[in-house]
């Protein structure tokens, strides 16, 4: 006599999924049939509750329209992904990736403004935004030969003098001010959930013109020619300690943003998180004969910007005092707003699945940034205006 059917086999029998040889036993076994009936009663309850999962009622949104949304969002995601990859380079991993990359690529003082001085000094007094197509930098941020060449160039050109280390938690604004070395401002009537201080960082960049030009050539942009004077130029960058104040449930700041994995849909993990960051202006020293306008123009053209647009932008910016923030061209929009008694810039990423906003402004030599998720950017403006 064959052995009795297991509960699993009886369940398969109820679903018409039991193999024929085992079904034969069921035909003759009273005991198994009794157990099958018990199991049926048991599973009918669940089946009744779960039956709505099989419903095919209700209309389905047009696949054509959905494909349109998919294509648009996919482009935005791709561009934003490039943006994130770009900012995750080792050299950009310090407290303020944004400031650093801008400093390296664009924000050097103009020769006209400081002609005759041995060193040029850069300090942030205002912010301006430039939309850049980051997909133009895909080759540099990828794992291909060009990406490796770029990584080598950066790592061989940079000497890190001071690493910022892991962010330290501060109990309150007073302690954060002591640790950071400047007066930290907190919005009135709001209780921060976390305050972190990231130490100062410093590095020196020595330009290797031959390697940088070879990279441009390799990328198919031999039309962009770096000036001879750039070779061997030493640029030092000092980034002061910064403070990050979180409101709501926020992730702990990490010195390496490239290791942050988004397990959920971007933006849904911390829906009520708003972060206020404060950092005194970084200081950049560069040789007096460095033609910043020309370098900025080359950088912008490399991203795909037309020569005349790049020229128009570079000539309109006061490089001695302006923090130029590159934003993804198709994935973000911006406008000027008055906050904290000065003019600030509100950047919004109007994505369907993960809208984000960032408000940037400079006051009394301190750069402030409020960033959050969602579309309610008004809260950033209110927070900025409530700073004492």
Partner 1 sequence: MIGSMKNLKTEVAETVQEESGSSGFEALFMEHWAHVYRILHRLLGDSSEAEDLALETFFRLYQHYPLPEKEFNLGGWLYRVATNLALHSIRSWKRRERYELAAGRYALDETPEDHPAEIMAKEEEHRFVRLALAEMNERQSQLLIMRHSGLSYKDIAKALKLAPTSIGPLLVRAEREFEKHYRALAQEELP
Contacting residues toward partner 1, per CB under 8 A: 6-12, 15, 17-18, 39, 42-43, 45-47, 49-58, 60-61, 63-64, 66-67, 69-71, 73-74, 77, 264-265, 268, 271, 352-353
The Cβ-side half-sphere exposure at 213, using a 13 Å CA radius, reads 13
Q: Evaluate the CA torsion angle 99, 105, 111, 113 in order and state its sign.
A: negative
| Shortest Å distance, C-beta 212 to partner 1 | 32
12 or 160: whose CB is closer to partner 1? 12
Q: What is the DSSP string of 213-255?
A: HHHHHHTT-TTS---GGGTT-EEEEEE--EEEEEESS-PPP-S
| Shortest Å distance, C-beta 382 to partner 1 | 22
Two structure tokens written together for 370: 């409020």
66 or 121: whose CB is closer to partner 1? 66
55 or 191: whose CB is closer to partner 1? 55
State the helix-helix crossing angle for 307-316 and 292-302, rounded to 10 degrees. 140
30 or 62: whose CB is closer to partner 1? 62
Say if residues 139 and 218 touch (Cβ distance below 8 Å): no
Q: Evaluate the CA torsion angle 8, 14, 19, 25 in order and state its sign.
A: positive
| Shortest Å distance, C-beta 347 to partner 1 | 23
| Shortest Å distance, C-beta 249 to partner 1 | 11
Total Cβ atoms within 10 A of residue 31? 9
> Cα dihedral angle (282, 287, 289, 293), rounded to 10 degrees?
-20
227 or 248: whose CB is closer to partner 1? 248
| Shortest Å distance, C-beta 32 to partner 1 | 14
42 or 174: whose CB is closer to partner 1? 42
Two structure tokens written together for 241: 């300690």
| Shortest Å distance, C-beta 24 to partner 1 | 17
**d(Cα 293, Cα 109) in Å, to the nearest integer?**
9
The dihedral region occupied by 260, where left means phi > 0, alpha psi between -120 and 50, and beta the remainder, is: beta
């Amino acid at each position: 006599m064959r052995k009795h059917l297991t509960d699993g086999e009886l369940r398969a029998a109820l679903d018409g999924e039991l193999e024929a040889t085992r079904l034969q036993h069921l035909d003759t076994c009273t005991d198994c049939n009794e157990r099958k009936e018990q199991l049926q009663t048991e599973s009918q309850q669940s089946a009744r509750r779960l039956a709505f999962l099989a419903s095919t009622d209700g209309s389905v949104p047009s696949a054509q329209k959905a494909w349109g949304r998919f294509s648009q969002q996919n482009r935005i995601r791709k561009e934003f992904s490039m943006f994130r990859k770009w900012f995750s380079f080792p050299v950009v991993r310090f407290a303020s990736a944004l400031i650093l990359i801008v400093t390296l690529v664009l924000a050097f003082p103009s020769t006209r403004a400081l002609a005759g001085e041995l060193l040029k000094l850069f300090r942030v007094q205002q912010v301006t935004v430039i939309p850049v197509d980051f997909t133009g930098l895909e080759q540099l941020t990828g794992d291909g030969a060009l990406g490796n060449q770029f990584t080598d160039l950066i790592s061989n050109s940079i000497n890190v003098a001071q690493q910022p280390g892991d962010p330290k938690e501060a109990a309150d604004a007073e302690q954060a001010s002591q640790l950071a070395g400047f007066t930290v401002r907190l919005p009135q009537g709001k209780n921060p959930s976390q305050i972190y201080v990231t130490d100062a960082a410093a590095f020196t960049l020595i330009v290797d013109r031959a390697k940088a030009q070879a990279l441009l050539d390799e990328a198919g942009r031999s039309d962009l020619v770096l000036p001879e004077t750039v070779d061997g130029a030493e640029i030092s960058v000092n980034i002061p300690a910064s403070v990050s104040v979180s409101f709501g449930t926020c992730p702990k700041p990490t010195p390496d943003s490239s290791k942050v994995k988004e397990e959920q849909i971007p933006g849904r993990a911390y829906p009520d998180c708003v972060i206020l960051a404060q950092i005194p202006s970084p200081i950049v020293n560069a040789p007096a004969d460095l033609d910043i306008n020309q370098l900025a123009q080359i950088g912008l053209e490399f991203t795909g910007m037309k020569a005349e647009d790049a020229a128009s932008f570079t000539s309109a910016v006061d490089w001695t005092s302006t923090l130029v923030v590159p934003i993804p061209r198709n994935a973000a929009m911006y406008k000027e707003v008055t906050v904290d008694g000065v003019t600030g810039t509100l950047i919004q990423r109007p994505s369907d699945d993960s809208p984000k906003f960032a408000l940037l402004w400079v006051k009394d030599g301190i750069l402030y940034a409020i960033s959050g998720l969602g579309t309610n950017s008004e809260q950033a403006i209110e927070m900025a205006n409530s700073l004492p």
